[in-house]
Structure 1
Amino acid sequence: MSRTVTVGLDGSPESRTAADWAAREARLRGLPLRLVHVWEPVPGPMAQAPLLGAETHRHWTERIPREAAAELRTAHPGLEIRTEQLDGASAAVLAEAAEESELLVLGSRGLSGIGGFLVGSVGLSVVAHAGRPVVLVRAGERAADEHEPDTAGTPSERTPFRPVVLGVDTAAPHDALFAFAFEEAVRRETSVRAVRAWNMPPYYVYGFAADPTLDQEIAAQEKAALSEVLKPWRHKYPSVEVVEECEFASPSLRMIEAARDASLVVVGRRRRPAGYGTHVGPVTHAVLHHSAAPVAVVPHD
C-alpha cells in the first residue's frame, strides 16, 4: 500500500474543497497527496458528436487534476502532490483507490439552509465498500472551521483545533475506530469527545413503572461501560484529553449535535460481503447526511 492521502476529484466545487482538506490532512500526516480523477467513457451517441466526442471530453477532464494540483501547490508549498487519471466506473475505481491509500477523501454538496451533506450515490457506494477510512467533506468547508473561535467569536486557524468527536458503541467497541480518532486528535493536539447515546426498548416502560430508579441504574451502567472501553486508550494516549458524554438520547441526533463543535467526526461501518449494497448503518448514514463537520467513516470487522 502506498502511503498517501488520496482525494477523488470531479471538477466540482465540493471536490475542490475536499482536495484542500486532504492537503491539510496530508501535511498533518507528513504524507504525499494523491489527486485522482476518474474518467468514465462517454455514451456511444455522445462519442460520435464532433464537439462532444470522447477525445474532446477526455481532453477537458484531464485538466481537472492538473489545475487542482497547481492551485494546491501554491496554497501548500512543499507538499508532494501526485495526479492520476483513471478509467472506469467512479464508485468502483475510487473504492479501489482507497485500498492503495491510508485515507480517501471525497466532497459532498452542502444542504441548503442547514449544516450538512448531500451524499450522492457514488460517495455512499464508496463509503460502503472501501476497505480503508473515507472522509466526506462538505462544500464550503474552510480550514478555520476546524478551529475554536477567537476572542471575537470567529473561528481562526490561529486558535486550537476543535475536538475530535468519536461515536462509541460500548456493546461492540472496535480498535480501528478508537485508534483512528485518537491519532487524529494527536495530530491536531486536541481532545477526543467520546459520545455514547442509547435508546430504550419500548417494553422498558413496564420496568420503569415497577422501579422508578431503573433509568438511573441503566445510566450508571452505561457510563461505567463507556469509561471501561476508553481506559486502554487513555493509557495509550496520555497526552490526549478525553471527554466522556453518555446519555439516554437518539444516537443519530446526539452525534449530529456534537458535530457542530467538532473538527472531525469519527464513526464506524461494519465490513460486509462484496456487493452487499450501500448499507452503512443508521447512525453513520444520518451523520453522513447531517454533520456540520467532516466525517471519517472507519470500516471494521
Structure 2
Amino acid sequence: MRSTITVGLDGSPESLAAADWAAREAVLRDLPLRLVNASQWQAPAYAAASGFDIPPLPRELQHSSSRRLLDNARAGIADGHPDLRVETEDIDGLPVPALLRAAEDAELLVLGSRGLGKVAGFLVGSVSLAVLAGSERPVVLVRSARPERQAPSDADPAGTRPDATDRRDVVLGLDLGHPHDRLLDFAFDAASRRAVPLRVVHGWTLPPYSYGGDLMPELDDATAGQVRRELDTVLRPWREKFPDVEVSTQTTVGGAGPHLVDASHDAALVVVGRRIRRSVVGAHIGPVTQALLHHAAAPVAVVPHD
C-alpha cells in the first residue's frame, strides 16, 4: 500500500478536527489521506442500570453507521481540499488493534483528543493512549479547538483553523541523552514544510552539589554552558541539512514538560519522542509526553524510536 496520512474517525468533533488537520498535513506532504473507522463496537464491561444486558448492534448496522461516518467526513474534506486524494476504509476489529494495523502502512497516524479547557487540556481516552503507546509509527493527537484562538478571518470566522499564513513555531522537546535522528528529522521536516521557525526545548538537571545554585554558582554556569554547547553540536548537522529552517534553542533547569506545555500555546505543532520498549509489562510514553497529552494547547506529535 502507498504511504498515507491516516486518521482514525469515531464520529466525535475531536476526530473530525483530526481529519481536518490530517488533510492539511497530507497536502503538505503530497500524500493521499486515508480515513478509517473500526466499526466493531466493544460491548460494555458493566451491566446497565436496569440490570439488563445491552446487546451490541448487529454487525450490518455497525458497518452502515461506519460507512455514513466515512462518507460524510470525505465529503467535508473534499469541500476544502478538492484536489486531495481521499481513501476510506471500514476496518475490521476492535479500535486499538485495528488502528495499530492501520498505522503500519501510514506515514503518520492522526487521532482526536478531547479538550477540557486551559487547565485540564487533553483528556486522553483509553483508545488513543493505547494506540499511542503501541504504535511504531508517529502519532499526532489533535484537539477540537485551540484554547487560545487565532484572529478571525473571512474564511474562518471562528478563528479556529490554521491556514497557510499561520506562522507559529514548531516546538521540539529534545532529550540530549537520546537525540534520535528519527525525531530530529521529523521536527526539522515539519518546520521546513510549514516554512516556520523551529524552537528546541531541552530540560537539564543541576548537579547534586548545587542546591539551587547557591553554593557553587560558577560551576553551575559552566554546566549550563556545556549543555548549550552539546545542544548546538547535536543540532549542527540538522541545521546544515535544513538551511531554510530558523532554529532557536531553550535550555531549562528541571523537567521540560511544563516549558513545552507553555510553548504549545504559541505553537503550530509540538514534537516529542517516545522510546520503543518491547516488554511484557507493556508500553510506556514517559512523563514529558504524559504532561503534554494532558495540558498542551497545540497538536502533539509523538515519534517512536529505538
Deviation at 1:139, TM superposition (A): 1.5
In the alignment, the residues of structure 2 paired with residue 263 and residue 118 of structure 1 have an alpha-carbon distance, to the nearest angstrom, of 19
List aligned pairs for 1:1-301, cutoff 5 A: 2-41=2-41, 43=43, 46-47=54-55, 52-114=57-119, 116-141=121-146, 157=163, 159-200=165-206, 203-205=208-210, 208=213, 210-273=215-278, 276-301=281-306
1:191 counterpart letter in structure 2: P
Match of 1:102, SS state, is: strand
Deviation at 1:33, TM superposition (A): 0.4
Check 1:168–1:260 CA distance in 2 against 1; reply closer, same or farther (3 A cut).
same
Match of 1:265, SS state, is: strand
Check 1:55–1:206 CA distance in 2 against 1; reply closer, same or farther (3 A cut).
closer
Identical columns (%): 49
Is 1:5–1:34's contact at 8 Å kept on the other side of the alignment?
A: yes
2:40 counterpart letter in structure 1: E
C-alpha distance after superposition, 1:10-41 (max 9, x if no partner): 00110000000000000111111000000125
2:178 counterpart letter in structure 1: A
Check 1:260–1:113 CA distance in 2 against 1; reply closer, same or farther (3 A cut).
closer
What residue in structure 1 maps to residue 156 of structure 2?
Answer: none
Is 1:42–1:54's contact at 8 Å kept on the other side of the alignment?
A: no
In the alignment, the residues of structure 2 paired with residue 179 and residue 276 of structure 1 have an alpha-carbon distance, to the nearest angstrom, of 30
In the alignment, the residues of structure 2 paired with residue 140 and residue 207 of structure 1 have an alpha-carbon distance, to the nearest angstrom, of 39
Aligned length: 290
Is 1:256–1:287's contact at 8 Å kept on the other side of the alignment?
A: yes
Deviation at 1:279, TM superposition (A): 1.4
Is 1:162–1:262's contact at 8 Å kept on the other side of the alignment?
A: yes
TM-score by length of 2: 0.87
Is 1:199–1:251's contact at 8 Å kept on the other side of the alignment?
A: no
Check 1:43–1:290 CA distance in 2 against 1; reply closer, same or farther (3 A cut).
closer
Deviation at 1:277, TM superposition (A): 2.2
Deviation at 1:207, TM superposition (A): 9.5
Which stretch of structure 1 is more off in the superposition, 4-13 or 206-215? Answer: 206-215
Gaps of 5+ in 2: 45-52, 153-158
Check 1:158–1:32 CA distance in 2 against 1; reply closer, same or farther (3 A cut).
closer
In the alignment, the residues of structure 2 paired with residue 71 and residue 206 of structure 1 have an alpha-carbon distance, to the nearest angstrom, of 56
TM-score by length of 1: 0.89
Is 1:195–1:246's contact at 8 Å kept on the other side of the alignment?
A: yes
Match of 1:10, SS state, is: coil
In the alignment, the residues of structure 2 paired with residue 25 and residue 234 of structure 1 have an alpha-carbon distance, to the nearest angstrom, of 23
Deviation at 1:46, TM superposition (A): 4.5
RMSD: 2.5
Deviation at 1:59, TM superposition (A): 1.9
Deviation at 1:54, TM superposition (A): 3.4
Gaps of 5+ in 1: 148-153
Deviation at 1:145, TM superposition (A): 5.1
